[in-house]
Structure 1
């Protein structure tokens, strides 16, 4: 198996499964195909026919995951729109932002009279009006006919993996990643391109001049990269062992869709092959559809509900909390080292300092080892926090790995002298993040923890995944993060859900976090000007904003600069670290060390005896308010 590109194998085998189980036409009907939105970020729409093609009646509708489009559909992505579409004739189409295309053919047909399914040719013909697409279709097959037509020429393939990208008004580039394809210019010139090769098409309508270049054609990374699809569909490899599962129901279960696939044209084109039979469309759809279950039970919270929740809370003044006697989350939650007395003392100090909330990392490994005891200890912490006037944000997963070791339940090593947060381990282990065979236990953990506390007023909101993609995992964490949202939504908790954006704010993973979260959460350790710029960007979502982690005194990210900013923008917040202890957050990390102030505390607010590191900071916490009238 070609482990380096599982997408190609998926496309190769999905064609077989889809022919057998997906298209499912009525007896005697033309076996038409469809393109299903399997994953997306940002804004994308589709123009579909609402009646027979010859009548020309169309409408524009918003796309969402699970939406299915057919032949003659015109797909359009916005500035931040990205799509991954699974085509039932046997390919995956990745659509970049600011792209417009029309599916000319999506069907199983034949040259002459077919005697069996083996005689059917799977046709995917796309007219690319602008922008760029990636096609993943696997090993070439004589029964697969793929064409991508541009203004300057056409790409023809019987499989392969390739990119077609507009470069300027009159130029189009073609990059062949695997196998081979043909490029035909407007003047009929043809060239064969092998894996690793590239071609450039040119056509001037004014001059009626066409050119095809295949020598010394540079591959432009910004045109070649398809961030969302590269990550998301590499994770579909489990289907290769169960190709019959990749029918509509199988794909829907994999995606965790709350509703079945939705045919965007309402069946308008099913019998359009007949010149006589022109039935009325039986399904009336609104011009725009939300993502499945938006604003409904089990779905993303609507804006009105979310703002009502946020405004009745008052300012959230929080801290990311680990007791001073714990070196990491495992030591915090294990039965033998769970230190309720210290927590009681420290949360009392936090209450006097003005904190109204704490954000706490849970531990999948401790739950796995002792689920009942773990839940009892979580309940105990909630009670202690409530006693001292704080609500709790439980964090279910975490990719932060400072120790470079897998999480193991049991006695934890002592902190490395003079080193910041030296024993922090992720949860779950990186191996579990990418291994779907381990996910059933992760699902059970998420659902069991959330089900116990889903109506508990002591829980402020659920943070599903801290720094997803950290410690070198990158976007390998995206599928697990996405699935965690699905598991969490199924619980229908009374508290909102969030995953904080923390890195690469223009990337697919961040877009996915923000689109699936109820409230907008982010982490910001930059200087105040950068954080403010980020806030202006995040305000576009028109949802409450919480900064779930901040404080880096040596860079100017401190209480004097950040709290006024949060006040003006009405941002709830959680600074990093409460009491100096075994995590040693007060020690500056080497990469952020200040030569001018090497002894300045990086993080933590209180000394080990509960006294403030800086009295003024406590005064600022106690006095923090949202700027009046700035709603």
Structure 2
């Protein structure tokens, strides 16, 4: 019995250590507020080039498109937008680390040319089609009528659930953080997009805990975070306790967005809504952007130029439902760079100029 109690005590200690380790190095509220004062009100987009069907295509040797990215960053600069959030792709790094580092640096230079700061995301659990594990090389073409048909998570479900592979992911995270930890072109590190958004929710926690630990060991000068996106209390408690600044997702009407925003502001840290704007769900730019501005809450909407991801369609849209005649879910520019709604463009410009 004593031996069993000893094992139990050790197990409890181990779990407690895993959940709380990321607090080592957590910014104080004072440091976080100082960071907020030294930075502008952030307003931007979750960015993926219009010719990329997923983030693998954005970074891959076969399809990285700096000329197109430059054109689309110019659109943002003309709006006055000052930030983008982008998901990195582990399999592209794994294939050729030097290439990936150079390509990421090239992307940062393009953004910097247009006075746009970058929020990189290391991991992403989301899947909208059949690609639960990404593969390098030429990606699938769009399946017309299917929202985000070939979306590719990072690193993919197989590596997330197989902890024997996590040492490879540690190398990836620490390599990139070490190289860019003092880089002024990056304003925040988002460590994991929507962890648990998978068929195996609990299996995401080990990697989530580890990526916070790895980031704290490198100790970048930029704040680290991961956004709250659902009602998972275990997940949200961990993220609130371990993020330097608070980030969240909210694709909801004005009243619900404002309620969530005010809840997160109570923690005293800077707040950024890192995903929002879903016209189908009544998350409208004209309604909500002034709310964020008045509260000095940063915001990163989805997305910029409509393209191969077909994110103008609602979540779950399938080819048999074509033609789609409703309002666009995401994106503020058409493929020819014409605004979807000029009123939205005018408001964005006016809000940022204030």
The normalised TM-score by structure 1 is 0.53
Q: 2:220 aligns with which of 493, 496, 503?
A: 493
Whole-angstrom distance in 1 between the partners of 2:242 and 2:317? 33
CA RMSD of aligned residues (A): 2.5
Partner of 2:196: 469
Paired with 1:625 and 1:611, the residues of 2 have a C-alpha distance of 20
Q: 1:526 is matched with which residue?
A: 252
CA contact (8 A) 2:45 2:85 kept: yes
Which SS does the other structure have where 2:266 is aligned? helix
Matched, 1:456 2:155: no
Change (3 A) 1:378 1:18: same
Matches within 5 A, 1:15-30: 15=3, 18=6
Shift of 1:510: 1.3
Distance in 1 (CA, whole Å) between partners of 2:159 and 2:293 is 40
Map of 1:270 onto structure 2: none
C-alpha separation between the residues in 2 aligned to 1:624 and 1:517? 27
Query: 1:626, 1:461 → 2: CA distance?
Result: 23
Find the aligned partners of 2:332 and 2:189 in 1 and give their Cα distance: 24
What is the CA-CA distance between 1:471 and the residue it aligns to? Answer: 2.6
Counterpart position of 2:148: 421
Deviation at 1:555, TM superposition (A): 2.3
Write out aligned runs for 1:35-74 (5 A): none
Pairing partner for 1:361 from 87, 90, 110: 87
Q: Report SS of the residue matched to 2:287.
A: helix
Alignment-derived partner of residue 329 in structure 1: 55
Pairwise CA distance, 1:466: 0.5
Alignment of 1:4-15 (within 5 A): 15=3
Q: Is 1:540 the equivalent of 2:269?
A: no
SS in 2 for 1:573: strand
Any residues of structure 2 matched to 1:495-510 within 5 Å, and which?
495-504=222-231, 507-510=233-236
- Counterpart CA distance in 2 for 1:252 and 1:457 is 36
Report the 3-state secondary structure (helix = DSSP H, G, I; strand = E; otherwise coil) of the residue aligned with 2:215.
Answer: helix
Q: Secondary structure at the match of 1:308?
A: helix
Offset of 1:257 from its aligned partner? 6.9
Name 1:378's counterpart in structure 2: 104
> Pairwise mapping of residues 214-363 of structure 1 onto structure 2 (< 5 A)?
251=14, 255=18, 293=24, 299-363=25-89
Question: Does the alignment pair 1:619 with 2:316?
Answer: no
User: How far does residue 607 in structure 1 lie from its aligned partner after superposition?
Assistant: 1.5
Pair 1:443-2:206 in alignment = no
Alignment check: 8 A CA contact 1:396 1:463 kept? yes
Work out the CA distance in 2 between the residues paired with 1:620 and 1:575: 14
1:459/1:584 Cα in 2 relative to 1: closer, same or farther (>3 Å)?
Answer: same
Q: C-alpha distance in 2, partners of 1:462/1:610?
A: 29
Secondary structure in structure 2 of the residue aligned to 1:409: coil
Please say if residues 61 and 137 of structure 2, whose CA atoms lie closer than 8 Å, have aligned partners that are also in contact.
Answer: no
Matched, 1:555 2:281: yes
Question: Per the alignment, in what secondary structure is the counterpart of residue 237 of structure 2?
Answer: helix
Structure 1 residues without counterparts, runs of 5 or longer? 1-11, 20-85, 93-247, 259-290, 294-298
CA distance in 2, matches of 1:339, 1:416: 21
How far, CA to CA, are the matches of 2:252 and 2:38 in structure 1? 30
What are the Cα deviations for residues 362-419 of structure 1, in whole angstroms up to 9, with x where unaligned?
0011100111100100000100000011000000000001122221111111011022
Matches of 2:105 and 2:87 in 1, distance apart?
14
After TM superposition, give the deviation of residue 16 of structure 1 in Å: 6.4
For the residues of structure 2 that align with 1:257 and 1:370, how far apart are their CA atoms?
Answer: 34
Measured in 1, the distance between the counterparts of 2:76 and 2:301 equals: 12
Q: 2:118 aligns with which of 381, 388, 392?
A: 392
Q: Which is richer in helix?
A: 2
Q: Cα gap change, 1:426/1:322 in structure 2, threshold over 3 Å: closer, same or farther? A: same
Would you say the 8 A contact 2:306–2:312 is kept in 1?
yes
Give the structure 2 partner of residue 43 of structure 1. Answer: none
Query: Counterparts of 1:339 and 1:15 in 2: how far apart (Å)?
Result: 61
- Residue deviations 1:302-336, cap 9 Å, x none? 11111111122121011000001110011110112
Q: Secondary structure at the match of 1:395?
A: strand
Higher RCO structure (Cα 8 Å, ≥6 apart): 2
Q: Using a 3 Å threshold, how does the CA distance of structure 1 residues 292 and 573 change in structure 2: closer, same or farther?
A: closer
C-alpha contact (below 8 Å) 2:312/2:331 kept by paired residues? yes
The structure-2 alpha-carbon separation of the partners of 1:327 and 1:292, relative to structure 1 and needing over 3 Å to count, comes to closer
- Output the TM-score relative to the length of structure 2: 0.92
CA drift of 1:590 comes to 4.3
What's the CA shift for 1:346?
0.6
Displacement of 1:500 in angstroms is 0.2
SS at match of 1:360: strand
Structure 2: gaps spanning 5 or more residues: none
Offset of residue 255 of structure 1: 2.8
- Which of 567, 570, 573 is 2:293 aligned to? 567
Indicate the SS of the match to 1:541: coil
Match of 1:431 in 2: 158
Residues in 1 aligned to 2:23 and 2:248: alpha-carbon distance in whole angstroms: 25
Cα distance between partner residues in 2 of 1:613 and 1:292: 43
**C-alpha distance after superposition, 1:512-560 (max 9, x if no partner):** 1121111010000011111111122212211111000011112220111
